[in-house]
Structure 1
Amino acid sequence: MRSQRLTPDCANHSVTCLGVARLLAVLVLTLLLWIAVWMSGIDATVAGELAARLDPIRKPHGAPDAKNSPLHPLKHGLQPRLAFVIVPIIGFANAGVALGGVGAGRLMMPLPAGVAAGLFISRQVGVRGAVLGATKPGRASRPRWASWGQPYDAAPSCGIGFTMSLFKGGLAFAYPMSVDEVKIGALAGSIL
C-alpha cells in the first residue's frame, strides 16, 4: 500500500488517491471497519455499505474503469456463490419458520395466500399496467427490439423481495402466529 498527497480532484475518492490497490489491504481495511462499526453498537451492515462505497477504482486517464479495482476479480468470482447459495441460506435462516406440517391447507389460509398473491400477481399486473399506461396514450414508445411479452417476463423480479416482505410482515402483525403465516406466504410467493 502506497500513499501520495491528496489533490483537489481526489477529494471525493480518498481511498483511490491513497493508492490502495492490493486486495489484501482492501480486505483488511474492510474487516477493521466492520469490527469498529459492530463494536460501536451500530448495525454492522452499515460497514458493508460504507466499504462498498469505498471500493478503490483506479482511474487511468480520468476515466472510471471497474476492472482496475482490486475487488473486481473477487466480486466476479464470488457472485454465483453469493446469488445462488449464500443469500438464499441467509434469507431462509432469517425467516425462522418451521416448515414441518406446512401443507396446501395452510398455504390457502387468507393471510399466506394474500401475501403470496401480493408478491406474485401484483408484480405482473403493476408492471404490465405501467407499461401499457405509458405506451397506449403515447407518453412513451416501446423500443423496436422489445416485445410486449418482455414486461411480463421481467415482472417477477420487480418489487419488494422475500426479506423485505418478512420485515414488513413483522412490522404489520403483532401475533407470532400471524407473522409465521406471513413468512409462509412470502416464501410461497417468492418460489412462484
Structure 2
Amino acid sequence: MDELKDKERELAPLEREFNHVVCSFEQFFKSQATASIILLLAAIAAMVIANSDSRELYQKISHMALSISLGDFTLSHSLHTWVNDGLMVLFFFLLGLEIKYECLVGDLKDFRDSSLVIAMALGGMVLPASIYAGIALTGVDEAMNGWGIPMATDTAFALGILALLGSKAPRSAAVTLSALAIVDDMGAVAVIGLFYTDGLDLLSLSYAGLALLGLFLFNVLGVRRPIFYVLGGLLLWWFVLQSGVHATAAGILAALAVPTKPYAQSSWFARNMRNIVNRFEKIDKKDVSILEHQEQHELVEEAQDIAAMATTPIQRWGHVLNRPVSLLILPIFAFINAGVALPSDLSQIFDSVVLVGVAVAMVLGKICGISLFAWLAVKSGLSRLPTGLSFAQVFALASLAGVGFTMSLFIASLGFAGQPELLAQAKLGILAGSVIAALLGTTLFMLNSSNTGAGSAQKENHNKAGLPQTEG
C-alpha cells in the first residue's frame, strides 16, 4: 500500500499539528519491541508497588471481587481469577490460532523443516524440567510442583529483544525462535492440561465436549460469522471452567475450530475490486467529499465486505486480537501476577530451593537442552540449520529462549496455588532467570556479530523481510 501523503488527505482543522505530536507514539506502538517493553514496565510497576508502602493496596486490587449478575444468577471472582481464568483465555485462543496456522502453512508444515525446531523445543523442555526436579529433590516435597515452570519461553520478550538487536541477529534467528516458541507452547499447554488440572467433573466435561463439537460443526457447515464462534466459545469456556480442567484450555480448543478457508476465491476478489474501483473513479468529483456522495460511501462499504469475504477467519481474527492481547491483556496479567515482596535480607533468597531451581533451570537448562538437541538433530542428518544461522547463534538463541516470563508465571500460579511462600519464591526465580537469560542472549548475539562482522547482505535481507509478528 502506497504511503498516504498530506495532499491526499482530508485533514481536520488541527489535525496536522496534532499529528506531529502523536506520530512518534504511533511508530512506537507499531514496533515489534513494544509488547515486550510494555510487559516489562507492567512487571516492574508490580514489583515496585509490592515492595513499597502501597503493597497492601496492591493486594487489595489483586483480590478485589468482580461480580456479574443476571436475576438470581451471580458469578463472582477476584480480579486475579478473572484475569488468569478469563482474559488469559483470549491469549491462549490467539496462541491456538498461531499453532494451527504454523501447522497448516507455516514453519511446522513440512517435517523436514520443522524437525530442527521440534528437537530444540523438546530439549528446551526436558532438560529444564529435569534440572529443576533434581534441585527440588533437596527441598520440601511441595517444591516438585514447580517442575513445569522453567519449560516455557516468552515469545514476546524474546522476539522483542531480537528486534532491538536489529542486524546483529539474522532474520533466520527470529523465524527459528518463533517456530520454537510455538512448539514450546504446545508442550506447555499439554503440561497444564495433564499435570496442573484439579479433579474432573465428567458431566461438565461432557457438556464442554458438546460445545466443542458444535464449534467444529459450524466449521464444516461453512459458518464464518464471528458471533457463532463467540457464543460457542463462551459456552465451551464456562463448561471447561466447571469441569476442573483449567479454563485456558478452552481458548486453545476453540481456536482449533476456527475456519481456515475464505468465503471467496482470490480471482473473484480481484474481479469485483476492479469493478468497484472503476465505478468509484467514474463518479469521483475532485471537490466533493465522500460525505456528500452517498454512492461513493456505499462503494467503499461494498469493498470492505468483498475484502472480508476474501480473507480467512483464522488470519483476520488473529490480526484483530493481536494488539489488544499483547498491549493490554498480557501487561494486565503481568501486573497482577508479578508483584512479590523481596525478603529484607537478600542473602536469604539463595536458601530457596524453588527460586534457585527455577532460575538455574531457565538459564542452564534452556541453553544446554536447546543447543544439545539442535546439534544432535543436525549431526544425525535429520535436520539442517536455516540459512544464515550458525551454531554460535543457536547458542545465543537458546539463551534468549530462557526468558520464560508470561507462561512461567502462569504455570507457577497453578503449581503453587494456595502456597503463597513457594509462589513468591517461584516468581523471584522467574524474574531472575528471565533477566539473566535476556542479558546473556543479547551479549552472545552482539559478540557473535562483532566476531563474524555481520555483512551488508544480511542486514539488507533483515530490513526487507522484517521480524514476524507474534505474541505471548
- TM-score normalised by L of structure 2: 0.31
1:154 maps to 2:397: yes
Inter-partner Cα distance in structure 2 for 1:79 and 1:170: 30
Q: Secondary structure at the residue paired with 1:99?
A: coil
Residue 390 of structure 2 is aligned to residue 187 of structure 1: no
Per-residue CA deviations over 1:24-69 (Å, capped at 9, x if unaligned) read 33222322333344456654334323311211233679xxxx9422
Contact persistence 1:162–1:190 (CA under 8 A): no
Contact 2:403 2:433 in 1 (8 A): no
- Code of the residue aligned with 2:231 in structure 1: it is V
The residue type paired with residue 218 of structure 2 is: V
Amino acid at match of 1:105: S
Residue 72 of structure 1: aligned partner: 315
**2:360 is equivalent to residue 117 of structure 1:** yes
Q: How does 1:55-66 map to 2 (within 5 A)?
A: 55-58=258-261
- Distance (Å, rounded) in 2 between the aligned partners of 1:144 and 1:39: 48
Structure 1 unpaired stretches of 5+? 1-12
> Which of 238, 243, 266 is residue 35 of structure 1 equivalent to?
238
Structure 2 residue runs without a partner (length 5+): 1-215, 265-309, 437-472
Give the whole-Å Cα distance in 2 for the aligned partners of 1:113 and 1:143: 34
1:170 aligns with 2:416: yes
Q: Quote how far apart the aligned CAs of 1:127 are.
A: 1.6
Supply the distance in 1 between the matched residues of 2:256 and 2:359 (Cα, whole angstroms): 34
Q: In the alignment, is residue 89 of structure 1 matched against residue 320 of structure 2?
A: no
Amino acid at match of 2:359: A
C-alpha separation in 2, matches of 1:98 and 1:153: 29
Equivalence for 1:26: 229
What is the identity, as a one-letter code, of the residue corresponding to 2:226?
A: L
Letter paired with 1:52: A
Deviation (angstroms), 1:135? 4.1
What TM-score do you get using the length of structure 1 for normalisation? 0.64
Q: Equivalent residue for 1:10?
A: none
Structure having the higher helix fraction is 2
Q: CA RMSD in A?
A: 3.9
SS of residue matched to 2:391: coil
Does the Cα contact within 8 Å between 1:170 and 1:179 map onto a contact in 2? yes
* Structure 1 residue 185: Cα displacement: 0.7
Equivalent residue, structure 1, for 2:253? 50
Residue 352 of structure 2 contacts residue 425 of structure 2 at CA under 8 Å; is this kept in 1? no
2:364 is aligned with what amino acid? I
Deviations 1:93-149 (A, max 9, x none): 356x63355775354445323321211222112222223344457665444432223
1:15 corresponds in structure 2 to: 218
The percent of aligned pairs where both chains have the same amino acid is 27
Contact 1:21 1:56 in 2 (8 A): yes
Q: Select between 147-156 and 106-115 the one with higher mean Cα deviation.
A: 106-115
Name which structure has the greater RCO, CA cutoff 8 Å, separation 6+: 2
Structure (1 or 2) with the larger CA radius of gyration = 2
CA distance in 2, matches of 1:23, 1:153: 41
